[in-house]
């Protein structure tokens, strides 16, 4: 029984520290709460079975040890609930701000704000990616199927962009997006279109292209840069609150990336908190 109590106490120590570790996810905390609960339940059952609930154990009675564990579990549960509330508040605020980005960009473009679809929940449901779900993985890691001339049209637009003909590139990439909706190349195409429009000084349209790029492929190779460029574009448009939340999201979604470092460096200049 001493070994069981020692095991339970060892479970308790990292849990108490984990409650203070902001880098740990809410799911991790919940899992460890469940571990501690199971250990406590098993200990109680063993003590009842062996009649050892009044016997001494490792510097105190078994009952005292159980009381200490129950108190730690209660404290950790309270902190978990507080963390969950904080996460929910961030999600709600972030979703509202992303909705504002869509609304303001639509206004700037002269679009119909009444026809806008509902804004997807920031972070998605049940752990889904933020803002939009990723495209379905291709079965057996096979190469995605491209329509006839799809790759050629993409390569042509990319080549024109590389030559510095930004207006033609923007037009070709816009045509590509309309001609091949749902293309596996759409995320990169929209990002390149954002780059072309940015070079042309069309910041509002560039921001829309970056948003379309990220929303279409939030886990794609260009996603960190697309989100970064979206935040920077919003800053140029004077949409400071939306720019700040977007730049913050870069670090949340892509921690340690070069884009996250750039986003963090850009935030002070916008007065982000």
| Model confidence pLDDT, tens digit, residues 33-62 | 667 666 666 666 666 565 554 544 444 566
> Residue 20: helix, strand or coil by DSSP?
coil
Which residues are CB-contacts of 230 (< 8 A; sequence separation ≥ 6)? 101, 207, 210, 211, 214, 246
Q: 248-254: list long-range contacts, CB under 8 Å, 24+ apart.
A: 248/272, 249/94, 249/122, 249/130, 250/224, 252/130, 253/129, 253/130, 253/218, 253/223, 253/224, 253/227, 254/223, 254/224, 254/227
Q: Among residues of the chain, what percentage have pLDDT more than 70? A: 55
Q: Which of 200, 206, 203 is nearest to 167 (CA)?
A: 200
User: Please, which residues bridge with residue 57 across strands?
Assistant: 60
pLDDT digits (tens, 9 = 90+) for 118-168: 665 655 433 333 333 333 334 344 455 677 789 999 999 999 999 999 999
pLDDT digits (tens, 9 = 90+) for 59-82: 456 667 667 766 777 777 777 677
* pLDDT reading at 191 higher than 90: yes
pLDDT digits (tens, 9 = 90+) for 200-215: 999 999 999 998 898 8
* pLDDT reading at 6 higher than 50: no
> Residue 273: helix, strand or coil by DSSP?
coil
* pLDDT reading at 234 higher than 50: yes
How much is the mean pLDDT over the chain? 74
Q: How far apart are CA 172 and CA 59, in angstroms?
A: 76
């Amino acid at each position: 029984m001493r070994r069981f109590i020692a095991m339970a106490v060892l479970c308790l120590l990292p849990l108490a520290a984990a409650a203070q570790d902001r880098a740990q996810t809410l799911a991790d905390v919940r899992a460890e709460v469940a571990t501690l609960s199971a250990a406590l339940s098993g200990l109680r059952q063993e003590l009842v079975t062996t009649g050892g609930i009044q016997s001494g154990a490792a510097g105190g009675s078994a009952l005292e040890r159980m009381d200490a564990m129950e108190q730690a579990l209660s404290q950790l549960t309270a902190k978990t609930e507080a963390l969950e509330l904080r996460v929910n508040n961030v999600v709600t605020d972030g979703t509202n701000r992303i909705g504002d980005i869509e609304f303001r960009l639509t206004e700037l473009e002269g679009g119909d704000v009444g026809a806008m679809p509902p804004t997807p929940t920031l972070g998605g449901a049940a752990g889904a990616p933020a803002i939009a779900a990723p495209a379905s993985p291709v079965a057996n890691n096979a190469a995605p199927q491209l329509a006839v001339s799809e790759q050629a049209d993409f390569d042509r637009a990319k080549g024109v962009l590389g030559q510095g003909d930004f207006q033609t590139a923007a037009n070709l990439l816009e045509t590509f997006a309309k001609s091949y909706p749902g293309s596996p190349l759409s995320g990169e195409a929209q990002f390149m279109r954002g780059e072309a429009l940015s070079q042309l000084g069309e910041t509002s349209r560039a921001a829309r292209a970056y948003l379309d790029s990220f929303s279409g492929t939030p886990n794609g190779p260009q996603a960190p840069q697309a989100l970064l460029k979206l935040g920077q574009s919003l800053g140029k448009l004077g949409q400071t609150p939306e720019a700040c939340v977007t730049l913050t999201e870069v670090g949340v979604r892509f921690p340690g990336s070069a884009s996250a470092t750039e986003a963090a460096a850009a935030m002070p200049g916008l007065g982000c908190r």
